[in-house]
Every structure is written in C-alpha cells, then in structure tokens.
Structure 1
C-alpha cells in the first residue's frame, strides 16, 4: 500500500491543471499599456518604486514610444497619451527617468501632435 501511495504522489504534478503561472517579469511589450497620469521620477533613491526605466530621447526614429503630452487628465485615455502629474500619489504609472540610454527599458520621444502618438513593438 505505501508503494502505491508513493507512486500516486509522484504522478500528481502531471495531473495538475494547465493554468499558466503568473508572470514574475513584465511582458516585453507591456509598456504599450502605459497611458493616463504618469509621474516621471528622477530621484535615484526612489528608482525601485517605478515600473519601468525610461530614457527621454530627442530622436523619434529610435523611440519605443512616441508620446503626446496631454494637458487634461481626462483626455489621456489612449495608448502613448500621457498626462504628466506633479504628484506621485495621483499617478497611474510611475516611471524612472535615466540619462543612460543603455540602462533604460523604454525610449520615449514627446510629440506635439496627438495623432502621432504610438507604441512601437
């Protein structure tokens, strides 16, 4: 009887449900879901509070996201449309800004035309 029980315990992991395990790291293009109110953290002490590390680039050609800076929080409702909030407490997303492009997860370029706002995968 103990042998059967041991055999059953050995096969138990194969009969578990095939539900996917929760992701420990963000999906590669998960940054495309960033919209709404965004707080740009520049203090290295609070780098761990941020979801992503971003580099604010001047070239639109090399940017992962072309972002439109919205002046009203209610209209920042589409991908790559951000309302930059001055308070961290009111932000939907917190992003750490770095000066080193190699350390960044995302490269962001700000545009002045809303229809140009996009996320490049």
Structure 2
C-alpha cells in the first residue's frame, strides 16, 4: 500500500506554475511555435505583437505609443522568451484559458487575453 501511495505522488506534478490558474492549459512548444511564427496577435488594450518567421519580434503599443523590437524563442514549458534590442529580456507564459482563448501571462503575473490572432502577409 505504501508503494502505491509513493507512485501516486510521483505521477502528480510537484509544483504547478504559480502564475497559471487551475483552468489554464499549457501549450506544447511545437504547437505554440506553429501558432505564433508568422502571426500577429492583438490584445484588448490595443497593443499588437508580431512574431516573424525568422525569430524577430515587435510589440506596438496602443495609441501610437511606440514599438519595441527584439527576438523571440519558444521554450518547452509554454513560455516565450524575448530578447529586446535595448538589452531588456523576459519570458512570458502562454496558456489557453478555460474558454480556449490564448492568454499571455507576464513574469509579474499580469494576464493579457488575446483579442484576435491573424497571420501576417509580409513574412
């Protein structure tokens, strides 16, 4: 009986990501890369992220607030890491929420649901 209990513990994740909600689902690295590469995603605050085929990344702030430039890489734990050309870098968690909508969760824990996903034509 003790052995069965130990097996049950081993099959359970020891530490869930503290940024994610119980209803969030992880996206595999290949699926996330395929979803983002060559795509443009718009957020409810008016910002737009673009993920170019060659690994370039841009984020255009709402209301003509400027554009950040960098390079992105999808990791195996449902994260996308971006190295900005200004020297700043960060890794955000990308999940599907309970409604199946893509949500970006920043390192600080801020959640940004995606309003619209579209492929770019100028890859």
Mark yes or no: TM-score above 0.5.
Answer: no
Which interval holds the TM-score relative to the shorter structure?
Answer: under 0.3
Query: Could you state the TM-score of these two structures normalised by the residue count of structure 2?
Result: 0.22
Query: Could you state the TM-score of these two structures normalised by the residue count of structure 1?
Result: 0.23
Greater RCO structure (CA 8 Å; 6+ sep): 1
Larger Rg: 1
Structure (1 or 2) with the greater helix fraction: 1
